[in-house]
């Protein structure tokens, strides 16, 4: 009887000492994961839960461990490690490059409508590429700086253009006010008095319109009690058209059946 009691207590003590050591081993593994300086760990469940395996930086696994193929749902990356995961074994099929933890691979698509969750079969874990990482960061910073500089330059150019346009508009308005008093006309490349223009005072005759305007005039603005005559050809030749009012679009006047006066004027008289 004493022998039996002694064996019972011996077994109890053995179990008591063995049980905590098992818990300590699991904790040690968890602390080991947290203390990693580089590498990556791969988990069967989202949010870094469930069975896992870890790989050191610089390792390549053409086949993930047994039981993990197409079963990985989250990835924890340590240090400045970069990993590449592949859908097929032997680094085949679609791939995904990661530098940060992914709590749920559902957030990454391998193809439209299909996520990377439960898709990984082989992996590459890059080394601790401080130089490459810093180089990428510097390159991104330089790109951002160039983009900001380009944006500032474009904004300054747009502001300069707006100021020039405002100045030109003010000048044209002043000139048009004077022209309204003394008479004259302005000829525009675009309909509705838009685009580049040139103007002529009352009494002027142009055997040839200014360079770039021949057969390019689409609208005409007339000031005061002015009458103009426009000609299809230079030196006041060919068909002609007499106007006393503004014309927003010369498409509304025909030079011959089926052919309008738009982009037809080569010489003018302003009377």
Question: Could you tell me which of 181, 195, 202 has the C-alpha nearest to residue 249?
Answer: 195
Q: What is the pLDDT of residue 130?
A: 52
Residue 54 lies in domain = 31-131
Q: Which of 131, 161, 194 is the last residue of a domain?
A: 131
36 and 127 inside one domain? yes
186 and 99 inside one domain? no
Is residue 196 in a domain?
Answer: yes
Task: Report the Cα 206 to chain-centroid distance in Å.
Answer: 50
Is residue 126 in a domain?
Answer: yes
Q: What is the pLDDT of residue 146?
A: 76
- CATH number at 229 reads 2.60.20.10
Is residue 168 in a domain?
Answer: no
Q: Which of 131, 161, 191 is the last residue of a domain?
A: 131
**What is the enclosing helix (H) or strand (E) of 93?**
strand 92-98
Q: What is the pLDDT of residue 129?
A: 54
117 and 202 inside one domain? no
Is residue 17 in a domain?
Answer: no
Is residue 197 in a domain?
Answer: yes
Beta bridge partners of 187: 198, 220
119 and 200 inside one domain? no
199 and 259 inside one domain? yes
CA-CA distance, 238 to 218, in Å (whole number)? 18
Total number of domains in the chain: 2
Is residue 7 in a domain?
Answer: no
Is residue 162 in a domain?
Answer: no
Is residue 246 in a domain?
Answer: yes
43 and 126 inside one domain? yes
Pairing of strands 109-111, 92-98: unpaired
Going residue by residue through the chain (271 aa), what tens digit of pLDDT does each one get?
A: 554 555 555 555 444 444 443 333 443 344 445 456 789 999 999 999 999 999 999 999 999 999 999 999 999 999 889 999 999 999 999 999 999 999 999 999 998 889 999 999 999 998 755 545 555 656 666 777 777 788 888 888 888 888 887 787 777 777 777 777 788 999 999 999 999 999 999 999 999 999 999 999 999 999 989 999 999 999 999 999 999 999 999 999 999 898 999 999 999 999 9
Q: What is the pLDDT of residue 157?
A: 86
């Amino acid at each position: 009887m004493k022998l039996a009691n002694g064996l019972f207590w011996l077994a109890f003590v053995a179990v008591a000492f063995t049980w905590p050591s098992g818990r300590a081993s699991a904790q040690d593994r968890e602390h080991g994961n947290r203390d990693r300086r580089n590498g990556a760990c791969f988990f069967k469940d989202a949010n870094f839960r469930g069975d896992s395996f870890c790989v050191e930086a610089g390792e390549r696994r053409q086949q993930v461990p047994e039981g993990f193929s197409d079963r990985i749902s989250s990835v924890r990356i340590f240090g400045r490690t970069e990993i590449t995961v592949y859908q097929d074994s032997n680094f085949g099929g679609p791939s995904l490059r990661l530098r940060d933890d992914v709590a749920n691979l559902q957030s990454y698509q391998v193809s439209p409508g299909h996520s990377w969750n439960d898709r990984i079969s082989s992996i590459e874990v890059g080394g601790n590429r401080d130089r490459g990482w810093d180089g990428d960061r510097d390159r991104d910073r330089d790109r951002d700086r160039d983009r900001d500089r380009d944006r500032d330059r474009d904004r300054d150019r747009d502001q300069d253009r707006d100021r020039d346009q405002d100045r030109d508009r003010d000048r044209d308005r002043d000139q048009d006010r004077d022209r309204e008093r003394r008479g004259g006309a302005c000829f525009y490349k675009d309909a509705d008095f838009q685009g580049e223009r040139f103007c002529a005072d009352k009494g002027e005759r142009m055997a040839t319109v200014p360079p770039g305007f021949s057969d390019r005039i689409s609208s005409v603005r007339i000031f005061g009690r002015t009458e103009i005559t426009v000609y299809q050809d230079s030196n006041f030749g060919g068909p002609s058209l007499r106007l006393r009012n503004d014309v927003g679009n010369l498409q509304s006047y025909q030079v011959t059946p089926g052919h309008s006066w738009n982009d037809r004027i080569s010489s003018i008289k302003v009377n």
